[in-house]
């Protein structure tokens, strides 16, 4: 990940905060949602749908906004050199092609170098990068590159498994299908460390 990419992440953090706090923007989104639903023939004057446009706007606002965070790293004074793996980190994002949600889990691992990262930050970076229009392949790569750039470990491995509602609710309607993507850097690109990670993660669910 380049310095320009990291600058873009900072800008995205500002945009996310705007989405959380900008009431006029929320009103504009609700008006647009109302127009969108009306164009599809949805009745918006019933007791159940009178505030649907506002709820829809708030729902997408929540899906597309993540709080900013700072990575907490500390010196690897103990010289720990084995795999660090956090499994089953929740993933919630929106497919940029159909703007329908996809959700699943991420398994994030790294081989430490001179520094370690706070374990909760592995979940934070997944959330931060997922809360925007995404494709799973890019999300997986971004998580790996962010950790590689920020921590400079000996290697990074990221595995994401997710179910896409653009496949289960429309088109082929492949209910229960899951997509698995992987990204590896450094010593986790091949060899025994990669095999250890994939063994720990297990078969796709």
Residues annotated as catalytic (active site), given as ranges = 95-98, 136, 164, 166
Q: For residue 56, how many other CB atoms are within 10 A of its CB?
A: 17
Q: Compute the distance between CA of residue 142 and CA of residue 106 in angstroms, rounded to an integer.
A: 12
Structure tokens at 161: 């498994």
Q: Compute the distance between CA of residue 161 and CA of residue 79 in angstroms, rounded to an integer.
A: 32
Give the bridge partners for 85, in sequence order: 109
> 3-state DSSP call for residue 167?
helix
Q: Compute the distance between CA of residue 65 and CA of residue 14 in angstroms, rounded to an integer.
A: 10
Q: Compute the distance between CA of residue 186 and CA of residue 192 in angstroms, rounded to an integer.
A: 12
Structure tokens at 113: 């170098």
- Kindly write down the DSSP assignment for every residue of 11-66, as one continuous string: HHHHHHHHHHH-HHHHHHHHHHHHHHHHHTT----STTTTTHHHHHHHHHHHHT--
* Cβ-contact 91, 126 below 8 angstroms: yes
């Amino acid at each position: 990940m380049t310095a320009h990419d990291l600058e873009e992440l900072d800008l995205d953090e500002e945009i996310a905060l705007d989405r959380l706090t900008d009431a006029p923007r929320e009103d504009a989104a609700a008006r647009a949602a109302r127009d969108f639903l009306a164009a599809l023939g949805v009745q918006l004057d019933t007791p159940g749908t009178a505030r649907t446009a506002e709820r829809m706007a708030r729902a997408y606002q929540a899906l597309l906004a993540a709080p900013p965070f700072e990575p907490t790293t500390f010196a690897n004074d103990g010289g720990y050199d084995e795999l660090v793996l956090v499994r089953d980190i929740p993933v919630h994002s929106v497919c940029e092609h159909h703007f329908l949600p996809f959700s699943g889990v991420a398994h994030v691992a790294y081989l430490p170098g001179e520094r370690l990262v706070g374990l909760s930050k592995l979940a934070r970076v997944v959330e931060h990068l997922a809360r925007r229009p995404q494709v799973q392949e890019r999300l997986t790569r971004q998580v790996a590159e962010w950790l590689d750039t920020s921590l400079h470990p000996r290697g990074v491995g990221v595995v994401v498994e997710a179910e896409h509602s653009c496949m289960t609710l429309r088109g082929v309607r492949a209910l229960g299908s899951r997509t698995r993507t992987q990204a590896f850097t450094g010593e986790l690109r091949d060899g025994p460390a990669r095999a250890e990670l994939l063994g720990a993660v297990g078969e796709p669910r």
